[in-house]
Structure 1
Amino acid sequence: MRTISRGRRAAAASITAVGAIALLAACGTAGGGGGGTASEQEELGDFEGSVSILAWPGYVEDGSNDPEVDWVSGFTEKTGCAVVSKSYGTSDEAVSLMKTGDYDVVAASGDATLRLIAAGDVAPVNTDLIPSYAGVYDFLKEKEWNSVDGVSYGVPHGYGANLLMYNTDVVSPAPTSWDVVFDGASAYSGKVTSYDSPIYIADAAVYLMAHEPDLGITNPYALDETQFAAAVDLLKAQRSHVGEYWSDYLKEIQAFESGDSVVGTTWQVIQNVLAGEVSNTAVVLPDEGATGWSDTWMIASKAKSPNCAYAWLDWIASPEVNAQATAYFGEAPSSDAACDFRDDCEAYHAGDADYASKIWYWTTPIAECVDGRTDVECVDYSKWTEAWSEIKG
């Protein structure tokens, strides 16, 4: 089941152009104000008896897919809140579904959170009402993708980095830089693999931050026209060396097993799978840093069951449950305490603040630059989508 969930999650970062322009424009104009009118809940009341949850596949498991994978039943037994859940396949779909008002809770990635906040579809979250929040890693709290002006809009779930994978028999010396897939990609032409999503433009921006400092990039999701053009040009140059763009991680596994790919972007969970099957792959977090993800549990501004919603946020962030959910999905948990219930936290660098500081978590690029600049307008995600089509040709 994790294979299916993770594979579907792979496509999540790609926001389709249809409908995105208006939503991103709303983000750009709402800016720091958050765009919504909802206020945070001050105290908890009686549980309503049910809660409706919208989430990535694999985030709300009740044993129906696998009898041994169930962290929903315990929640219902404890609170009396029956869980009704729906899975979605892309961030764009999640944003659209949240507008229906049918859901109390949503698990959103950083390429959707700011849009939900700007549209007023989610409410500020009173973390004092969520005891488990205290244990969440500080480096995941109050970030630009889950808060506005110091106001929290949710509870972090898990996180991970987009790493550099290489075939140890072919790629030598062992790489420490993204150079092997950008300026030095010709050495492995035709066998370079890249993530298939407009958000991958940020990976090029991370590389340029280190290698072309005169561009002045300080955040890969806040690119003005000049900076954006440089990132796009880098990816167009890379295109001739890319053998395959991947969004389904099973295909990347197969490509590295067959030798069709020898170097490119990956996830730790992919290396974990390959390590059990072959012995000629390794991963590294390059010197320049990397992009990554940190998903957030958010509460609808018009939630019909706000008390059950708060109970769910506390439950899913509690150590044992968070350990189950993030292990099943293939990512680091949100707290040290969760590692007491996992035996693979070291592989995911869970809790390593220095490691985490090198990750640029997916954040919606909007016209109002998320790096704080006010003298320029940044390129919003609708234009990232257009550029990605040009890059791939």
Structure 2
Amino acid sequence: MSPSLKAATAVGVLLLATACGSSNGSGSDASGLNPPDLKAQEKLGKTEGEVNLIAWAGYVEDGANNPDVDWVSDFEKETGCQVNTKTAASSDEMVSLMKTGQYDAVSASGDASLRLIASGDAAPVNTDLTPNYADVFEGLKNKDWNTVNDVAYGVPHGRGANLLMYNTEKVKPAPTSWSAVFDKGSEYKGKVTAYDSPIYIADAALYLMATQPDLGIKNPYALDRKQFDASVALLKEQNANIGEYWSDYLKEISAFKSGDSVVGTTWQVIVNAAKAEKAPVEAVLPEEGATGWSDTWMLSAKAEHPNCAYKWMDWIISPEVNAQVAEYFGEAPSNARSCELTADKDHCATYHASDEAYWKNVHYWTTPISQCIDGRTDTQCVPYAEWVQAWTGIKG
């Protein structure tokens, strides 16, 4: 089994955040967001003996799922910090758990990160206290989803793009555009699949950004009412052709193997696993670009074990550990030095880890807020709560 398929088997049902993304690779400061005035820790103190984490499945492995997959035990031995992990299935769950004050750090996706910053549940992070941050790809630093007013609120963990996967025997010619699931979706009626999350509205907005420039969309997560309504309308039209909305990692693989799905959104790790199971699939980053995700380890403003949490954040982005996590989970590592240490020497090439030109066409998840994060000040944008409501209507 490939490392990606092992991860799928060990994790079982793997859900990423119902998340939101930012614009492209350009830096920003989440314009209009005014978080509480919290100060970052200035120096490390004595470690507290334990750390309580909230994480996506596959991010904090101690050998329990697979005895060969363990980057927690050495951390505990080296730091004296016992790791206690709560695995979360959604960003909403992560936000709720962080509000309890019982956890020290969280592996937040873009929709959770800005919510945690705005509410004061996440603390600014002094990246000088995480030496491995220096080796993080520049394309992941100081971004809309992890930085506000030039203040960092965490350390980047990894990244991935939301790709277009297709059955090579059924979908011809090979698609190069998201039109395959929007304008041409009727050709594959009942066999189109889409990610089951309110953030998928951004995928429609991204397509409209390229195909209907008169709408003036500059950022698929900064939509005024007209732009938002147009995106929702496109998805309601698409609904007639959808066979299944997927959130279950393994079910999408099964659907492409059986032929129940022939075209739709996916992640590179799913492509790899599907190919390993002999499904006739390929995937492409369409000409319009794509949405994508980058997770950030964030520190709770109420952390009872902040020194152990800092040790963990530095550990998880260290070259060797970040390589292990990225390969097991199926993503591009955040640490540039990790690419020399993956067991599969082609891993970073497969996931475009150092290809910043590739990532410039990926619009990372970031929370939609009423202040338009594309810089507009003369209008309000539709906040995430309304995206959630609209998604229910889209699915019918």
Band of TM-score, shorter chain = over 0.9
User: Any conservation in 2 of the 1:219–1:371 contact (CA below 8 Å)?
Assistant: yes
Q: Taking every aligned residue pair, what percent have the same amino acid on both sides?
A: 62
Give the counterpart letter for 1:368 in structure 2.
Answer: Q
Aligned-pair distance for 1:302? 2.0
Give the counterpart letter for 1:13 in structure 2.
Answer: T
Q: 1:356 aligns with which of 359, 365, 372?
A: 359
* Mapped partners of 1:218, 1:296: distance in 2: 24
> 1:178 maps to what in 2?
178
SS in structure 1 opposite 2:74? helix
CA 1:5–1:162 in structure 2 vs 1: closer, same or farther (change >3 Å)? farther
* Mapped partners of 1:78, 1:31: distance in 2: 41
> 2:33 maps to what in 1?
32
* Mapped partners of 2:39, 2:218: distance in 1: 32
Residue 166 of structure 2 corresponds to residue 166 of structure 1 = yes
Q: 2:388 aligns with which of 385, 390, 393?
A: 385
User: Any conservation in 1 of the 2:16–2:56 contact (CA below 8 Å)?
Assistant: no
Q: Deviations over 1:164-212 (max 9, x none)?
A: 0011112111111001100111221121111111110000011011000
Aligned-pair distance for 1:243? 1.2
Give the counterpart letter for 2:181 in structure 1.
Answer: V
User: Any conservation in 2 of the 1:39–1:123 contact (CA below 8 Å)?
Assistant: yes
* Mapped partners of 1:57, 1:206: distance in 2: 28
Q: Deviations over 1:32-81 (max 9, x none)?
A: 322x2320111112212211111112211111222111111111111111
> 1:124 maps to what in 2?
124
> 1:10 maps to what in 2?
15
Residue 374 of structure 2 corresponds to residue 371 of structure 1 = yes
CA 1:285–1:6 in structure 2 vs 1: closer, same or farther (change >3 Å)? farther
SS in structure 2 opposite 1:33? coil
User: Any conservation in 1 of the 2:31–2:372 contact (CA below 8 Å)?
Assistant: no
Aligned-pair distance for 1:234? 0.6
* Mapped partners of 1:186, 1:252: distance in 2: 20
SS in structure 2 opposite 1:292? strand
SS in structure 1 opposite 2:348? coil
Aligned-pair distance for 1:101? 0.9
* Mapped partners of 2:374, 2:99: distance in 1: 28
Alignment of 1:340-351 (within 5 A): 340-342=340-342, 343=344, 344-351=347-354
* Mapped partners of 2:10, 2:31: distance in 1: 33
Aligned-pair distance for 1:150? 1.0
User: Any conservation in 2 of the 1:31–1:118 contact (CA below 8 Å)?
Assistant: no
* Mapped partners of 2:332, 2:221: distance in 1: 23
Normalising by structure 2, we get a TM-score of 0.92
> 1:26 maps to what in 2?
none
Normalising by structure 1, we get a TM-score of 0.93
Alignment of 1:181-260 (within 5 A): 181-260=181-260
Aligned-pair distance for 1:14? 6.5
CA 1:251–1:125 in structure 2 vs 1: closer, same or farther (change >3 Å)? same
Aligned-pair distance for 1:366? 1.1
Q: Deviations over 1:2-42 (max 9, x none)?
A: 22676644253169xxxxxxxxxxxxx994322x2320111
Query: What value does the CA root-mean-square deviation take over the aligned residues?
Result: 1.7
| Alignment coverage as a number of residue pairs | 379
> 2:25 maps to what in 1?
none
User: Any conservation in 1 of the 2:189–2:241 contact (CA below 8 Å)?
Assistant: yes
